[in-house]
């Protein structure tokens, strides 16, 4: 990852015609690409005294390599009183040139009603409909949603995710840290008529120093700005010339977002693996509660893939559950060390790969079993679409998800949230959300079970010792010592606000990932085999899209 050097993207709201024409020339001259946020219902119309670009002009922008994001249809949003307060706070933090006179003369920008609801307004139509209009008129995939006024709430985030968008930009001021990245909560630095090149250059310097992603948001770009959200053209050009001389990587928002998403996901696991010899992560103990019921739905000779197989405990559980069924069981994990350990212990082939993008042929498996992987992945839709692809019609998905209420508190934090595991990045607040997610990715939930996880009380004490550097050098002694390990299991309590959800879902229809979510470039993979393992009927070569002896790693 570009850990030092940072990233820079420019996003332009509302698609005012003259602004786009100006920026297309700038893009040609400086070899940079912009992302234009379009309210589709205003195309070729006059909005607040300004002419919005035509489809022909937008098609020209696309042809030159620029991106078009959705900015809703009518540039409206049903904000509540609390949404308005939150938007005001976000804008106050973001606009760096606020002064007392501004608050008295321009307070409407902050506290006035930003949106006026129209009769028959539908939030889903604004989000989904605008995406379809852009894609049909410009023959492109619309991947970004920029909320009008930057208003963001849980309902909007849910619809944006399920509509197939990959990024959601807000009006929150600040930088985006690739190490703690949230694609549906993108922060920006906003230009106004007072913004100078010197100010914006400082943003770039900060991004370069810390390795941050800086998204600069502009509306209209003119030579002599008069209204608040008009930006000075000369200042912008000077700023772009400065940024081009720096180490920041300038790219469209979608390209940068995809890059960071891919790297942060892999980095999470690399970090977890590297740290595993130094720290003990105190995790609750849970298992496949619905596995037997899922297995009963399978044929006599099923092919089963276990995601996130780790050291092989889940593989062993699945193997035991097969009973009289002659199953082909393959595990997969992103950690090479875990793959080697599982292959050696269980005498099974393990695929070392990324579970979001598997080098496996379509419709290869009868069942995919995942006990924890979903919690470690930001893009849940992409993950589930990939499992849909490799499952046969009528195939079984056994899935678990981490659930959390707002009051849940524990000893770990990630992305500013309390979590039960130091690398968890995706949790849900209700079973209904997970059910809807499954339905939208081609599955029908047929059974689910929720349960609280009992976590050892003594772990809180162990964790405190480690934090204060008072514990032994080998902190794993807490898990290895028979008496301490017995006490951990004996003195366990549920953690309020957290629980686990497990579901059996049946694949009801084929989805098409290339139409809904982006395809991250598949990583090189290896099939880890125990020594003297017999390939038998060469089942591996029939399952994998690319297969050769160079992909075999014998241990």
Compute how many other C-beta atoms are within 10 angstroms of the C-beta atom of residue 226: 7
Are 253 and 169 in contact by the 8 Å Cβ rule? The answer is yes
Whole-number percent of the chain with pLDDT over 90: 29
Whole-number percent of the chain with pLDDT over 70: 68
| Span 434-486, pLDDT tens digits | 888 899 899 999 988 877 766 666 666 666 666 666 655 555 555 556 666 66
Are 109 and 190 in contact by the 8 Å Cβ rule? The answer is no
| Span 394-411, pLDDT tens digits | 999 999 887 777 777 665
Residue 88: per-residue pLDDT: 60
Q: Which residues contact 47 (CB under 8 A, 6 or more apart)?
A: 14, 39, 75
Question: Which two three-digit tokens encode residue 188?
Answer: 């920006």
> Looking at residues 361-365, what average pLDDT do you find?
88
> Looking at residues 135-144, what average pLDDT do you find?
91
Residue 118: per-residue pLDDT: 46
Residue 91: per-residue pLDDT: 56
- pLDDT band of residue 198 (cuts 50, 70, 90) is very high
Please name every residue paired with 413 in a beta bridge, in sequence order, or none if there are none: 418
pTM, rounded to two decimals: 0.57
Of 508-512, 518-522, 530-534, which has the strongest mean pLDDT? Answer: 508-512
Question: Between 264 and 449, where is the model more confident?
Answer: 449
- pLDDT band of residue 139 (cuts 50, 70, 90) is very high
CA atoms lying within 13 Å on the CB side of residue 6: 23
Are 286 and 402 in contact by the 8 Å Cβ rule? The answer is no
Are 30 and 5 in contact by the 8 Å Cβ rule? The answer is no
What are the structural domains of the chain? 7-261 (3.20.20.370), 280-405+425-453+497-554 (3.40.50.150)
Question: Between 128 and 537, where is the model more confident?
Answer: 128
CA–CA separation, 379 vs 70, rounded Å? 19
CA–CA separation, 296 vs 84, rounded Å? 52
Residue 451: per-residue pLDDT: 73
Compute how many other C-beta atoms are within 10 angstroms of the C-beta atom of residue 285: 11
CA–CA separation, 341 vs 330, rounded Å? 14
Compute how many other C-beta atoms are within 10 angstroms of the C-beta atom of residue 79: 20
CA–CA separation, 199 vs 220, rounded Å? 18
CA-based radius of gyration for the chain: 26
Q: What is the full DSSP assignment across 329-378?
A: EEEEES-HHHHHHHHHHH---EEES-TTS--B-TT-EEEEEESSGGGG-S
């Amino acid at each position: 990852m570009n850990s030092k050097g940072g990233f820079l993207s420019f996003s332009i709201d509302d698609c005012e015609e003259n602004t786009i024409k100006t920026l297309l020339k700038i893009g040609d001259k400086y070899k940079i690409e912009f992302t234009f946020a379009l309210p589709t219902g205003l195309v070729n119309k006059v909005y607040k005294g300004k002419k919005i670009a035509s489809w022909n002009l937008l098609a020209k922008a696309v042809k030159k390599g620029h991106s078009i994001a959705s900015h809703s249809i009518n540039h409206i949003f049903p904000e509540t009183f609390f949404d308005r307060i939150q938007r005001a706070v976000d804008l106050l933090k973001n606009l760096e040139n606020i002064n007392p006179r501004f608050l008295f003369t321009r307070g409407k920008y902050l506290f006035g009603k930003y949106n006026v609801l129209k009769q028959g307004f539908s939030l889903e139509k604004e989000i989904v409909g605008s995406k379809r209009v852009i894609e049909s008129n410009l023959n492109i995939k619309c991947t970004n949603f920029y909320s009008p006024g930057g208003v963001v709430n849980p309902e909007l985030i849910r619809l944006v995710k399920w509509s197939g968008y990959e990024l959601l930009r807000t009006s929150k001021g600040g930088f985006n840290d690739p190490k703690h990245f949230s694609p549906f909560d993108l922060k920006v630095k906003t230009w106004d008529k007072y913004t100078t090149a010197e100010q914006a250059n400082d943003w770039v310097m900060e991004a370069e120093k810390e390795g941050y992603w800086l998204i600069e948001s502009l509306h209209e770009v003119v030579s002599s700005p008069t209204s608040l959200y008009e930006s000075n053209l000369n200042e912008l050009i000077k700023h772009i010339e400065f940024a081009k001389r720096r180490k920041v990587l300038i790219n469209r928002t979608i390209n940068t977002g995809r890059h960071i998403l891919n790297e942060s996901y892999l980095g999470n696991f690399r970090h977890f693996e590297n740290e595993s010899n130094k720290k003990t992560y105190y995790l609750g103990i849970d298992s496949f509660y619905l596995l037997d019921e899922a297995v009963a739905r399978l044929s006599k000779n099923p092919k089963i893939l276990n995601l996130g197989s780790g050291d092989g405990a889940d593989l062993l559980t699945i193997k035991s559950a097969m009973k009289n069924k002659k199953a082909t069981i393959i595990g997969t994990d992103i950690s090479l060390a875990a793959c080697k350990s599982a292959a050696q212990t269980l005498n099974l082939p393990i695929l070392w790969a990324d579970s979001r993008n598997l080098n496996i042929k379509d419709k290869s498996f009868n069942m995919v079993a995942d006990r924890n992987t979903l919690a470690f992945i930001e893009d849940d839709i992409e993950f589930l679409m990939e499992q849909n692809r490799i499952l046969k019609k009528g195939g079984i998905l056994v899935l678990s998800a981490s659930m959390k209420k707002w009051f849940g508190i524990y000893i770990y934090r990630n992305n500013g949230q309390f979590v039960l595991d130091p690398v968890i990045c995706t949790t849900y607040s209700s079973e209904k959300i997970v059910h809807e997610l499954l339905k939208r990715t081609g599955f029908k939930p047929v059974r689910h079970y929720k349960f609280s996880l009992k976590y050892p009380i003594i772990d809180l004490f162990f964790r405190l010792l480690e934090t204060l550097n008072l514990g032994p050098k080998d902190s794993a002694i807490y898990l290895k010592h028979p008496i301490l390990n017995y006490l951990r299991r004996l003195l366990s309590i549920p953690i309020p606000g957290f629980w686990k959800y497990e579901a059996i879902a049946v694949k009801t229809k084929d989805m098409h990932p290339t139409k809904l979510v982006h395809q991250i470039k598949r990583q090189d993979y290896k099939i880890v085999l125990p020594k003297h393992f017999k390939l038998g009927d060469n089942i591996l070569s029939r399952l994998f899209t690319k297969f050769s002896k160079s992909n075999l790693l014998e241990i």
